[in-house]
Amino acid sequence: MGSSSDWPKIKNCALILKEFGVEFDVRVFSAHRTPKALEAFVKSAPERGVKAILAAAGGAAHLAGVIASMTVLPVIGIPVETNLCGGLDSMLSMIQMPGDIPVATVGVGSGGAKNAGILAVEILALSDPALLEKLNQYRVKIAEKVNAMDEKLQETIKEELG
């Protein structure tokens, strides 16, 4: 992430990765202030067994694009909410990558951070049958949650409207 102040905004990503048993590192790098350290981290990623990089940043949000320029690993950008535009500025910075250097970008906010974790799990599950099974079980579990919400709503409507 671009700043340690981003942690509370992207914690849902780490929680999802932990739930699926996916190992991860959380680090602070700046595309502009620590480019050499960032480059060393990104360039050494494949030898460390990294299969995807998730990059959270706000404002100009160049971190994901700079990382993508240094590696062929999939890069998932997590736009961080800002005071200026609520994170729209961050999201637009990420999704407007020039052709040839893609950054998969999720939405702004805690749901976006969670989706970044899930997207990373989906990428990893392509070559990991056990992780794919966990992902399928997760989908069943979230469908069950929605069904339970609907049942409760139907009961509430029946009670309130007769």
pLDDT at 36 (0 to 100) = 97
Residue 75, phi then psi, degrees to nearest 5: -120, 125
Question: Which residues, 6 or more positions from 114, have their beta carbon under 8 angstroms from its beta carbon?
Answer: 12, 13, 15, 16
What residue type is assigned to position 46 of the chain? P
Q: Which pairing describes strands 53-58 and 75-80: parallel, antiparallel, or unpaired?
A: parallel
| Residue 72: other Cβ atoms inside 10 A | 8
Domain boundaries, the chain: 4-127, 129-162
Count how many residues are written for the chain. Answer: 162
pLDDT at 55 (0 to 100) = 98
In the chain, the percentage of residues whose pLDDT exceeds 70 is: 100
pLDDT at 125 (0 to 100) = 98
What tens digit of pLDDT does each residue of 25-42 get?
Answer: 999 999 999 999 999 999
Distance from C-alpha of 160 to C-alpha of 39, rounded to nearest angstrom: 60
- Per-residue pLDDT averaged across 135-142, rounded? 98
Q: List the one residue out of 60, 55, 80 whose CA is nearest residue 70.
A: 55
What tens digit of pLDDT does each residue of 58-103 get?
Answer: 988 899 999 999 999 999 999 999 998 999 999 999 999 889 999 9
Rounded to 5°, the CA angle 101-36-6 comes to 75
Judged against a pLDDT cut of 90, whether residue 5 lies above it is answered with yes
Average model confidence (pLDDT) for the chain? 96
139 in Cβ contact with 152 (< 8 Å): no
Q: List the one residue out of 95, 76, 92, 73 whose CA is nearest residue 84.
A: 92
Task: Give the residues across from 105 on adjacent strands.
Answer: 77
11-32 as b/e, with b when 16 or more CB fall inside 10 Å? ebbbebbeebebeeeeebbbbe
Fold category of 4-127 in CATH: Rossmann fold (3.40.50)
pTM: 0.93
